Each structure stands twice: as structure tokens, then as C-alpha cells.
Amino acid sequence: MGVTRPDSIPQALTQLSRFLADGAHGDMHWMATTAARRGDPRALWPDVRSVIMLGLNYDQGGDPLAILRRRDRGAISTYAQADDYHDVIKPRLEGLARWLTAEAGGDVKVFVDTAAVMEKPLAGAAGLGWQGKHTNLVSRQFGSWLFLGAIFTTLDLPPDAPESDHCGNCRACLDVCPTAAFPEPYRLDARRCISYLTIEHKGPIPRELRAPMGNRIYGCDDCLAVCPWNKFARAGREMKLAARSELRAPPLAELADGALRLLADPSALVRGAAVWALSRLLPPERFAELAAARRAQEVEPLVVQEWTAALTPAAA
């Protein structure tokens, strides 16, 4: 836990504006529409005088990159293997906020990734860590594995010292990215980020990025997992954030078993994805037969393009 002032992140809006101007937010249009409120907590709530930032360790222990060597299994980001973290963290914040108002008065507002709050810059200003070259928060005590929450209060609380940057010359997080999502240190292009592509993105994944995604089916931990500061991290103790067995390493064969059926899915996006998947899974002769039978029935341009591209050797 740490405390900071609402005016402690003057650089955040400039950095966000550049991110948006570059189009690096992809189709996360809500980031642009809420940009003015993100740059200064007082734009979100004019009465706020202090921001309490809190982090909860969700490290599962072990090596999150080990799953990438198991090509028959799907890799799911560590944070998504457990119960919804919002449901775990928000009640805790609300309990702390009730205690705070009972003890010291004032008004409070609680946020867990649910409003236009720039949690990472605020957490850095409050001393919880610093934003590494991968733009995520890094803690000297917990490495990369912190969920963040915020309590805005009208109380005038003494602020903590901000954390300085301890990345040094290391660029492990930049070099490990399989889709080259970092154009330079401290800058992310979400349009190439696997977490964005598998969670936030609403359209087809660019063809040139599909194969580099490997067996990552929901999110990606690569840039977090390689950070040297993780050597100080300890496994989290919150049982509700423990990984559920069915989400640790689901068999890809079972997940891909329905690809033929999905050629008839109501969504053109799903049908197009099924076309590409089958072009990789089936022998060329079998796929050509399938294409001859199904391609002529398709009227959606997106899916027709997928059939055409899949039948072009250079696009395989």
C-alpha cells in the first residue's frame, strides 16, 4: 500500500496522448473517449485530495513460460486462471474504505480497473513500484505480479515517496515478445500485443501475428515472466486467486476438435478463424476438398478472404 497526491502524475496524460495519436490502442476506443479524465484523478472526482494505491500479489509460483514448451496445451495468462480478481479485490477495498471513514472521516471512492484511473502511474507515484520497459508495474518485492486497486479520498494523507526506475540496461521483456509489440522501451503497441489480440480485440487477428502467438490462447505473460525482479517474488496466499485446474493447461486437441463445426457458426469472425485453423490442422488435400465444398456457399467477404488466403501457398 502507498499514498500519493492526485496531481502526482503530470506526465501520464502526455504519454497517453502519444499512445492514442499513434493509434496504438487499436479498437479500444474507450481509452480515447475517457482520456481527459485519465490524465488527472481530479477530473474524475474534483474533491479527491489523496489516492491510496494497493497491490495484491497473484504470483502462482513456478515458471509461467514452461507451458510454451508444451505444444499440445493451451497457455492462459496467470491472472486469468483463477476467479475474477475484481470480485476478490473490490470487497477488500470497500472494507478498508469503511474502516478509513469510520476512523478518520472524509468521503471515499473505490476503483478496481473499473473507471478512468491510470493505476500504474499512480502506483509508481505511491511507491509500489515503477513502470518497466514493458509499461507494466514492477515491484522490488513482488516482481511483476500485482493486481492494483485504488481508494480516492477527501482526506489529506501524507504521501509516500515514489519508486525510481530500476530496469537499468535490461531489455529482457522487450526481446522476449513473440510479436514485437514494443517499438521502443516504455512504449507498447497494443495492436501487436497478444493480450490485446486475444482479449480486447473485436476483429480478426492479423494473419502475420497468428503463428507467432503459438499456443497462447488467452493473454500472454512473456514480458512479465522474464523480468529479473521476479526472483524476489513469492507465491500469493489468496486462495481465491489460486489457479483452477481446468485453466492451467487445457488440451489444445479438445479445443480444436470443434473447428469443422464452427464453419457454420453464426459469427463471420468465428467462421473465418475456423477456416485458418483448419488450413493448419488438415492435410492439404483434405483442406482443398473442404474448401471446394464450403467456399462457394460463403457470402461474407471476411470469410471468403480467409478461404482465399488459406488456399494461397504464400499465405500459409
Query: Which among 223, 248, 273 is the end of a domain?
Result: 248
Residue 221 belongs to a domain? yes
What pTM does this model have?
0.91
Residues 155 and 206 in one domain: yes
All 3 cell numbers of residue 110?
A: 473505490
Give bridge partners of residue 146 from the DSSP assignment: 57
Q: Does the structure show a pLDDT above 90 at 246?
A: no
Q: Which candidate in 7, 63, 72, 113 is catalytic?
A: 113
What SS3 class is residue 146?
strand
What SS3 class is residue 201?
coil
Residues 194 and 307 in one domain: no
**CA 258 from chain center: how many Å?**
27
Determine contact, residues 73/215, Cβ cutoff 8 Å: yes
Residues 268 and 239 in one domain: no
Residues 174 and 268 in one domain: no
Nearest by Cα to 233 from 66, 63, 61, 2:
61
Residue 179 belongs to a domain? yes
Nearest by Cα to 125 from 56, 68, 192, 50:
50
Residue 253 belongs to a domain? no
What SS3 class is residue 314?
helix
Q: What is the share, in percent, of the chain residues with pLDDT greater than 90?
A: 82
* Confidence grade of residue 316 (pLDDT, cut at 50, 70, 90): very low
User: Structural domain of residue 128, as residue ranges?
Assistant: 2-248
Residue 287 belongs to a domain? yes
Residues 171 and 300 in one domain: no
Cell 474504505 found at:
97
Tens of pLDDT, residues 269-308: 999 999 999 999 999 999 999 999 888 888 899 999 999 9
Active-site residue, 113 included: yes
Tens of pLDDT, residues 17-67: 999 999 999 999 999 999 988 888 999 999 999 999 999 999 888 899 999
Residues 14 and 159 in one domain: yes
Q: How many domains does the chain have?
A: 2
